[in-house]
Structure 1
Amino acid sequence: MSEAAVRNERATRRIDTTEPLTIGDVIRRTGVSASALHFYERKGLICSARTSTNHRLYERHVLRRVSLILVAKRLGISLADVGEIFQALPTDHAPTHEDWQRVSRAWKRQLEARRHQIEALERELTGCIGCGCLSMKACLLLNPDDALESEGPGPVRIQRDSAP
């Protein structure tokens, strides 16, 4: 059978959307390794059922969860933050439109806060590059005599000024 015929057969074949997916199916559909799926499961980000032979079976809505995990990783969102957001979603059935809307609004707020922090850091770095640290009085990284120790670790002036 030609490659085009195989593609055509796949396209016309009806998919039983109630049938769970094997781990191989999820790997093929998401590009995520089995070890990553096991890790996500241990972290409570996804869940599976077991067959009598102890093979994992996944509901189809797991594909969306895994896809969101991959997008979050690309955006630099930690798995802990993903887990926090996913706690608002049901694990025993596909989330409703309202569930996804609630989650997306929460994520949007987090991304907006992160964007503000990045923009503030970008402004500071542009200033640093522009001054070349010739102006030690204006530099937000300056901490003479460790006077800022009581305010916490790291570049506290930058963190304080870039807080949303």
Structure 2
Amino acid sequence: MHVGPDDHLTIGEVIRRTGVSASALHFYERKGLIFSERGGANQRVFPRHMLRRISLVIVAKRLRIPLSDVAEVFAGLPVDRAPTHKDWQRVSRRWKKQLEERRRVIERLEQELTGCIGCGCLSMKACLLLNPDDALGGRGTGPVRLQQPDTTP
């Protein structure tokens, strides 16, 4: 029996294959992350290629990537057919840029934490916690040094 990417799966089959609950699938569908159709007896069926989208949503959630970011990336994929290799390449290039920026932010945080914990605050001139006259307050809220792009070469 040949199984193709445009074959359809019942919601029960999708749950069994992905481990995602029916309520989560409905939620992802409302958010525009996945799509279903109505099959016989008005039953919800999913094109098999939605399994890849669901898998990427699962991974994104584990990495704490907001679903709005996932939806933005998925907006570049067709919903009426299985995405081609070219479609996935285009989308992955876009997502790669976002992931690289996340990685840079995490690496900066790691450097800041390592430096702060390891310094023992022996040098108040180099300490990144030092903020004379609340100079950083004018640059925004929260940890502005970590939120802003790194401008060091």
1:79 aligns with 2:67: yes
What's the counterpart of residue 99 of structure 1?
87
**TM alignment of 1:14-163, pairs within 5 A:** 14-17=1-4, 18-51=6-39, 53-160=41-148, 162=150
Report the more deviating stretch, 15-24 or 75-84.
15-24
- The alpha-carbon distance between structure 1 residues 161 and 30, as it changes in their structure 2 partners (threshold 3 A), is closer
Answer yes or no: is the 8 Å Cα contact 2:116–2:127 preserved in 1: yes
Answer yes or no: is the 8 Å Cα contact 1:21–1:59 preserved in 2: yes
Structure 2: gaps (5+ residues): none
Answer yes or no: is the 8 Å Cα contact 1:141–1:158 preserved in 2: no
Task: State the Cα distance separating 1:99 from its structure 2 match.
Answer: 0.1
**Which of 1 and 2 has greater Rg?**
1
Alpha-carbon distance in 1 for matches of 2:130, 2:43 = 57
Alpha-carbon distance in 2 for matches of 1:161, 1:127 = 19
Report sequence identity in percent.
68
Query: Which amino acid is the alignment partner of residue 56 of structure 1?
Result: R
Residues matched between the structures, number: 151
Structure 1: gaps (5+ residues): 1-13
Alpha-carbon distance in 1 for matches of 2:76, 2:20 = 23
Report the more deviating stretch, 74-83 or 56-65.
74-83
CA RMSD of superposed structures (Å): 2.0
Secondary structure at the aligned position of 1:57 is classed as: strand
Answer yes or no: is the 8 Å Cα contact 2:105–2:146 preserved in 1: no
TM (normalized to structure 1)? Answer: 0.82
Alpha-carbon distance in 2 for matches of 1:131, 1:28 = 51
Structure 1 residues 84-142: Cα deviation after superposition (integer angstroms, max 9, x where no partner): 00000001110011000111111112111211221122111111011133433322233
Alpha-carbon distance in 2 for matches of 1:59, 1:107 = 23
Answer yes or no: is the 8 Å Cα contact 2:11–2:45 preserved in 1: yes
Secondary structure at the aligned position of 1:128 is classed as: helix
Alpha-carbon distance in 1 for matches of 2:92, 2:130 = 39
TM (normalized to structure 2)? Answer: 0.88
Alpha-carbon distance in 1 for matches of 2:120, 2:23 = 46
